[in-house]
Amino acid sequence: MNLLTVGSVAFDAIETPYGKTDKIVGGAGTYICFSASFFVKEQGIISVVGEDFPLATLQEMKDKGVNLEGLQIIEGGKTFFWSGKYHNDMNSRDTLATELNVLGTFDPIVPESYQNIDYLLLGNLSPEVQRTVIERLAVRPKLIAMDTMNFWMDIALEELLKTIQLVDVIIINDEEARQLSGTYSLVKAAAIIQAMGPKIVIIKKGEHGALLFHGENIFYAPALPLADVFDPTGAGDTFAGGFMGYIASTDDYSFENMKRAIIAGSALASFCVEKFGTDRLKEITKAELNKRIDSFVELAHFQMKEI
Amino acid sequence: MNLLTVGSVAFDAIETPYGKTDKIVGGAGTYICFSASFFVKEQGIISVVGEDFPLATLQEMKDKGVNLEGLQIIEGGKTFFWSGKYHNDMNSRDTLATELNVLGTFDPIVPESYQNIDYLLLGNLSPEVQRTVIERLAVRPKLIAMDTMNFWMDIALEELLKTIQLVDVIIINDEEARQLSGTYSLVKAAAIIQAMGPKIVIIKKGEHGALLFHGENIFYAPALPLADVFDPTGAGDTFAGGFMGYIASTDDYSFENMKRAIIAGSALASFCVEKFGTDRLKEITKAELNKRIDSFVELAHFQMKEI
């Protein structure tokens, strides 16, 4: 096992222009694990759920190679719940409800079997919890990546900056990069964020693809133009999970391999939005994934000639 | 001569967060010709100016191989003038003044020497004027491309649709594609617009690059991430001019070559925004252009491995 994820395993209730769900399984950690499982045979997760969480989902995670020793089930506790409604453009959403429940007092325990992992992915979560996990690992992983969101910039910036300082890779969206850096240009934003600690900055731009700033190098990953985006929930987590799963399975975090990892993550994210929740993600075959990755290759390929 | 452009030659007064200009030379036709001149040695322009337009600029155009037989200079007339102010994000702008002047009564005359051209680019202009030029060409060009904007969709949609029906390539931005098609997804928008006539739809997304829909094929062209965008005026025209200049000079409008043309146009547009007006565009060397094109190649390049 060389990949460990910290992230919420939760319930969501989602409304999009295409429909509406009751409470369904969601959470950054869930999406990340399902996504990474396309590349790693074994992985660990540090998270917490209440007694109300479906064992069937935990079994599905196990079946995909997720070691659940680090997943705490709190007796009598209730699982984290988020509810949101997407606007017509699918790029903006309103949060309708956030019930932290067991996540509110989450103390991330690192089981002995998770020590010495090489790759750590800190899913979007309180920066204090994220940092605690880093501190509880006896040996620093080869590569630490983190996700975060504007919410933490608003209410816990100081804590967030302390965590950011400790990581190698930060994965955020364009708005978040602008807020964190206080600047509009993403090139300048990336440089400012790199100076905060992470030498690698990945800026997700939704339907506009993603930018990878790797030291001095820049890669522009396209997004697959989609006729329909059914439900964007979890697409960012799926992207991050695919990215880190790919890196962990290849054990290579060079610029060239990170490009491949971003394409792999983007391909998985493009499936994620096709159905509500984790449904589509769970049913993808390796053949489908390879075909989707080929679409990205075709989409971005061009060959210049001498002018 | 195998490239002909119809487009305004005009005055602009521009305000951006970086500064402010007095009346300077602008106009879609001007940007297009300067841009296309990197690829074609000779080209024609159909346009109109007043007596107040600087002869020095006309001489600069001639020096770049622009045949001005189709450029009418109206005695006692005043040149089209546009003034605008860009917001901090540079993606939106307010029009402060629009003085049509000689453009208001423009009757586009096609000189005999322009007949039999192979490539026609209709810059953003009244769809009636655009269509008149097509009608006044004795032989239909091999490829007709057009630019347009939301302004014409608002006030002259019927005329616009008649012109769109006659062209092979339409070049518009994402907002315009959404307005023209009445749909949000750019994949669906492109299909709807293709059904209106043009088999090739190019959707410009500013800092997010451009999409080429060529029949069934799609290409995602990246945009070069820039630290500063000084003045976006004319970037779209420069893109279109570079695109058509490249196509005309290679005499090849296959999907593969259109990709190259889009990269060439994007590279030129990335220079255009570095200074106010046409200044930067006029001073680029072939070596600088090639270097910039290489940056696009590096930016977009990745090589997948078997998963």
Write down the domain spans for chain A. 3-300
SS3 letters across A65-108: CEECCCEEEECCCCCCEEEEEECCCCCCEEEEEEECHHHHHCCC
Q: Which residues of chain A neighbour B39 with C-beta distances below 8 Å? A: 307
Q: What is the pLDDT of residues A54-113, one digit of tens each?
A: 999 999 999 999 999 999 999 999 999 999 999 877 778 899 999 999 999 999 999 999
Q: CA of B129, closest CA in chain A: separation in Å? A: 33
**Residue A50: how many CB atoms within 10 A of its CB?**
20
Contact B220 A209 (CB under 8 A): yes
Q: What is the pLDDT of residues B247-273, one digit of tens each?
A: 999 999 999 999 999 999 999 999 999
Considering CB atoms only, which of B208, B219, B286 is closest to A299?
B219
Considering CB atoms only, which of A39, A220, A229 is closest to B299?
A220
Considering CB atoms only, which of A188, A209, A302 is closest to B260?
A302
Minimal Cα distance from B192: which residue of A? Answer: A227
Contact B227 A185 (CB under 8 A): yes
Sort A149 into a burial class: Cβ within 10 Å, 0-12 / 13-18 / 19+: middle
Average pLDDT over residues A158-187: 97
**Rounded to whole angstroms, how far apart are CA atoms A173 and A293?**
22
- Kindly list the distances between the CA atom of residue A234 and the CA atoms of A73, A206, A277, B100, B182, in Å, as whole numbers in the listed order: 22, 12, 7, 50, 28
A vs B: CB pairs below 8 A: 104
Long-range Cβ pairs for the range A149-154 (8 Å, 24+): A149/A124, A149/A176, A150/A175, A150/A176, A150/A179, A152/A126, A152/A127, A153/A179, A153/A180
**Rounded to whole angstroms, how far apart are CA atoms B301 and B289?**
18
**Rounded to whole angstroms, how far apart are CA atoms B100 and B181?**
28
The whole-chain average pLDDT of chain A stands at 96
Using a CB–CB cut-off of 8 Å, the residues of B that contact A are: 38-39, 88-89, 184-188, 205, 207-209, 211, 218-223, 225-229, 256, 259-260, 263-264, 286, 289-290, 293, 297, 299-305, 307
Query: Residue B306: what pLDDT?
Result: 80
Where does residue A125 fall: left (phi above 0), alpha (psi -120 to 50 degrees), or beta otherwise? beta
Where does residue A149 fall: left (phi above 0), alpha (psi -120 to 50 degrees), or beta otherwise? beta
pLDDT of A161 above 80: yes
Query: Residue B118: what pLDDT?
Result: 98
Minimal Cα distance from B174: which residue of A? Answer: A208
Phi and psi at A86, nearest 5°, equal: -90, 145
Minimal Cα distance from B228: which residue of A? Answer: A185
Query: Residue A88: what pLDDT?
Result: 78
pTM: 0.95
Query: Residue B179: what pLDDT?
Result: 97
Residues in chain B with pLDDT values less than 70: none
Question: Which ipTM score applies to this complex?
Answer: 0.92
**Residue A204: how many CB atoms within 10 A of its CB?**
26
Fold of B3-300: UDP-N-acetylmuramoyl-L-alanine:D-glutamate ligase (3.40.1190)
Contact A263 B304 (CB under 8 A): yes
**pLDDT: which is higher, A132 or A18:** A132
Q: What is the pLDDT of residues A224-276, one digit of tens each?
A: 999 988 899 999 999 999 999 999 999 999 999 999 999 999 999 999 999 99
